[in-house]
Amino acid sequence: MSKPGLAPRRAALALMEGVLEERRLLSEMLPGAVAHLAPDERARAQRLATGALRWLDRADRSLGRYLKRRPDLAVHNALRLALFELWVDGAKPHAVVDGAVAAVSARKETARQAGFVNAVLRNVLRDGPEAWEALPVPQLPKWLRKPLIADYGKPAVAAMEAAHAAGAPLDLTPRDGDVAALAQATGGEALPSGSVRLSRTTQVSRLPGYDDGAFWVQDAAAALAGQALAAGRGERVLDLCAAPGGKTLQFAATGAAVTALDISEGRMTRVSENLARCGLEAETVVADALDWEGGPFDAVLLDAPCSATGTIRRHPDLPHAKDGTDFPDLFALQERLIDRAVALTRPGGRIVYCTCSLLIDEGEEQVRDALARHPDLRVDPEAVALPGVDPSWIGDEGGLRLRPDYWGETGGMDGFFIAVFRVPKA
Ligand SMILES: C[S@@+](CC[C@H](N)C(=O)[O-])C[C@H]1O[C@@H](n2cnc3c(N)ncnc32)[C@H](O)[C@@H]1O
């Protein structure tokens, strides 16, 4: 029989290897990679892999003191994971050392290095948590850090990195807009923007009101993007890249006639499930937005596919799995999707363009380029001056720049860019 706790640790190490060697995202590998585990072990494997990747940079700095040269990836990862468990997760030292040694011993290729792992971890333990705490907050890899410093400056990037290390709370959007009632029912905090924030980790489906569809999970920054559209009862609204549907639900809850479109059939199933749970309606269309014909609509939301660099708090694997080389294709797609959104909006209508990205190429620059291609469009800064938004977050081009370090004292928010275009009357 294998040691207790070995299976989730081995699954976590396999997930880390998938990210760091095969450059795959955790979301692509889960839930397949943990399907063989019991539910609590699955959650533990995911938590360990996510945590180790979040703290990877600090673990590597720490291990630099004990390693003459970089060990094989599998051994290195076992040590990185052990440091996360010891100094962040608060696991018992003997259990961590035993677990790391057992994981390395269980693989034929690494079994001979079990003694080495044991020795390194003994040295780490001898130096204690003070040595770990003295190290800087984990930094982003250079490929991402450099352009962000160029755009925001070093202090801002350091603040974002601190927010990435802190992780993300759980935000809920109330279906009927009654934020106070939902905050009371769930024991959460009512945010000025209309979301409810829970700081504790919890199983969402066990929260009161889940089965009745009284709320859905949606980061407060993403909810602001939905609010910026200001959908009204009976208005024809198109959600052009809709899945998994947080913003579709926001529009449907206002009584708008919503068409939710997405290229992915699988992801669109989640939109339908979310609508059904919340007792809301929308027309769902699986199609490529670039060649779909319909409308014209009173309002179009384009929550475009993007680098997702605004979601690193929730997805600390992203900076390790990506290197930015595929981003220019996304920038070009965003441009074409903006042109489609313009074509699908009626004269006098409006378009919300947003991305969960920190890169200005996917935000401010897209707005500037869109205005050059469509000189009749106007950006409406008033439309993004929403409750909870600090006016200094609205840029010269009229868009709203949200960063993970904003609202730091209440748990931060996802990085987002949101701009509202007004289409001229005919
Ligand atoms: C950022 S996500 C949208 C999130 C969603 N608006 C929400 O609030 O839950 C981007 C979506 O764009 C979809 N997508 C990518 N390319 C597309 C295309 N050419 N046409 C339609 N949808 C596309 C992806 O499948 C993905 O679901």
Domain-located, residue 325: yes
Tell me the residue range of the domain where 174 lies: 170-422
Q: Give the domain CATH number at 306.
A: 3.40.50.150
384 and 318 together in one domain: yes
Instruction: For 225-266, write each residue's pLDDT tens digit.
Output: 999 999 999 999 999 999 999 999 999 999 999 999 999 999
356 counts as catalytic: yes
> How many structural domains are present in the chain?
2
DSSP state of 422: E
pLDDT of residue 401: 98
Where residue 199 falls among pLDDT bands split at 50, 70, 90? confident
Residue 244 preceded by cis peptide, ω within 30:
yes
CATH number of the domain to which 122 belongs = 1.10.940.10
Atom of ligand 1 minimally distant from the CA of 290? 19
Digit-coded pLDDT (tens) for 258-280: 999 999 999 999 999 999 999 99
Q: Which amino acid is at 186?
A: T
Same structural domain for residues 402 and 323?
yes
Type of residue at 114 = A
d(CA 370, CA 102): 56
Ligand 1 centroid, distance to 105 Cα (angstroms):
43
Domain end call among 75, 107, 133 = 133
pLDDT in the model for residue 2: 55
242 lines ligand 1 (CB under 6 A): yes
For ligand 1, atom 1, the nearest C-alpha belongs to: 305
**Which whole-number Å values give the CA distances from 192 to 10, 160, 223, 234, 364, in the listed order?**
42, 22, 12, 27, 25
97 and 191 in a single domain? The answer is no
306 and 409 share one domain = yes
245 lies in a domain? Answer: yes
| Residues found in the chain | 426
Question: 76 and 199, same structural domain?
Answer: no
Pocket of ligand 1 contains residue 263 by CB under 6 Å: yes
121 shares its domain with 196: no
CA angle 270, 274, 277 (to 5 degrees): 135
Expressed in angstroms and rounded, the spacing between residue 262 Cα and the centre of ligand 1 is 6
Residue nearest to atom 13 of ligand 1 (CA): 241
Query: 295 among the known binding-site residues?
Result: no
On whether residue 157 sits in a domain, the answer given is: no
Task: Please say if the pLDDT value at position 391 is more than 80.
Answer: yes
Report whether residue 246 contacts ligand 1, using a CB cutoff of 6 Å: yes
H or E segment to which residue 259 belongs:
strand 257-262
Q: Is residue 302 part of a domain?
A: yes
Residue 388 falls inside a structural domain: yes
Q: Are 181 and 174 in contact (CB under 8 A)?
A: yes
pLDDT band at 310 (very low <50, low <70, confident <90, very high): very high
Asked if 109 and 244 sit in the same domain, the reply is no
In a domain, 174, yes or no: yes
Whether 1 has a pLDDT exceeding 60, the answer reads no
ipTM of this complex: 0.99
Q: Show the DSSP H helices in 56-194 as ranges.
A: 56-63, 73-87, 93-105, 114-133, 142-152, 154-166, 179-186
Last residue of a domain, one of 118, 133, 148: 133
